[in-house]
Amino acid sequence: MSRHVWLVIVAVPVAPPEVVRELSREVDEFIVLDPDKDYLGAVGFYYDDFPQVTDEQVIESLRSSH
């Protein structure tokens, strides 16, 4: 009988310090490339090109992935 061990690893490009602290307690490993102490309030502020997607685009993407 095989036994599986699951790890939860979260990796994000940027996050505010309070999110890093909170999520680090909830997962096995939390990786953040830029733990910005002066977080700008939205991930999109850290990218030159960060287009918004509609709810319909997200739903279609999720449906087509199954």
Q: Per-domain residue ranges for the chain?
A: 9-64
Q: Is the pLDDT of residue 13 over 80?
A: yes
Predicted confidence (pLDDT) per residue in 14-30, tens digit: 999 899 999 999 999 99
**Three-class SS of residue 1?**
coil
pLDDT on residue 21? 93
Return the amino acid letter for 64: S
pLDDT on residue 58? 94
Other CB atoms closer than 10 Å to residue 30's CB: what's the count? 20
pLDDT on residue 32? 94
**Three-state SS letters, 2-63:** CCCCCCCEEEEEECCHHHHHHHHHHCCEEEEEECCCCCCCCHHHHCCCCCCCCHHHHHHHHH
Predicted confidence (pLDDT) per residue in 30-43, tens digit: 999 988 889 888 88
Q: What is the pTM of this model?
A: 0.64
**Class of 9-64 per CATH?**
alpha beta
Q: In the 8-state DSSP scheme, what is residue 66? A: -
